[in-house]
Structure 1
Amino acid sequence: MKPALLRLAGPLFAGTVWLAPGVALSHPHIFAEARLEVVAGDDGTITELRNVWRFDEMFSSSVVLDFDNNSNLKLDPDELAEVGQVVLESLEEFSYYTSITEDGKSVKVGKPEAINVDYQDGQLLMFFTLKPGQAMPLKGKLTFGVYDPTMYAAMDFPTDDDLVVIGEKFAACKRQVVRPDPDEVLSQNGGTLTADFWNDPTGNDMSKLFATRLEVTC
């Protein structure tokens, strides 16, 4: 893997941060606005989750510099495809930053067919669709969210309308967007949020406590 791929796969997509020793990992270095559409089929099960990520201009510019193989100051279709392939392979172990639970139990996601990448107005965009790794009927309490377990990238939903459900079967369910208050999370979990948590570059389940999520109760 060439250095450019290492730089992209390292900080954001593989949980390995190429920083000098002693640099803390407790705050994000990359920022992205996210949109998540949860789709239910006519049979009353979750069929897919549609993700859209728009990255900050600084990170987007660094990707252009790394993947602009012909030095024309833009990302051509083959270069965009190369970025998408790197993300497709390196985010698999992190479930593509997508969190699903069914009555409190985590549900794995399948590998998407592709990560589609575009570059618009100075920002890198990624589009991809995931499917739950098991049948998920609209029953009980379901949650859906997007977060980076390493806390190196901040995945933000600008408005509640960026976490949506699609499908007539959702009409029988209640849904709400939950945005945890960091101060409350720290207060309620101070005993478990230790220094090891804040400086763990491999990520852990505790970081989901701070993540915005969509809750669906049927």
Structure 2
Amino acid sequence: MDKFTTLTGVAAPLPIVNIDTDMIIPKQFLKTIKRTGLGTALFHEMRTNDDGSVNADFILNQPAYKDAKILVAGDNFGCGSSREHAPWALLDFGIRCVISTSFADIFYNNCFKNGILPIQVSEEQLEKLLDDASRGANATLTVDLEAQVIKGPDGGEISFEIDPFRKHCLLNGLDDIGLTLAKSASIDSFEGQIADSRPWA
């Protein structure tokens, strides 16, 4: 998993409440178990028209936001089914950070396991960030995980809270497998002791 330290990029405003995981990545794209290739299907039903053509009005299809790295979204982001394909699709598109006033628990946990930083802010702070994100190509935010601050294009800062263990994992690029491998020396030592004390095993 890639480390998350400081992220600077265009922030796309998506002020929609209750964006569920089926909106993020519709069910017809869940046939794969690969984490790559899903970015093209991100928000498929909003990014395309009924005839399959590109919906030019959708925020991520607009030239200023097509390379967005940060998403500023409405309340209860990631609700619905527990599909891990949702953070996979966001990450494959290039989104490394989602900011909202609240997240569905399973989606929130899945983000950390896939190198995405979900940040919870107040309604007042969200309004300010949505205003920042509405500036098109100038809608650049900097997210400093170590300092736990979001820096706006006008120099303003918003502090955020994060669980210390999750912060450690993101800063060091540790998913569940990485956490296990970090203990490989202790695991090898334990297995050696078992082999010595139980040679018949």
Normalized per residue, the structure richer in helix is 2
TM-score (normalised: structure 2): 0.26
The structure with the largest alpha-carbon Rg is 2
**More strand as a share of residues:** 1
Q: TM-score, normalised by structure 1?
A: 0.25
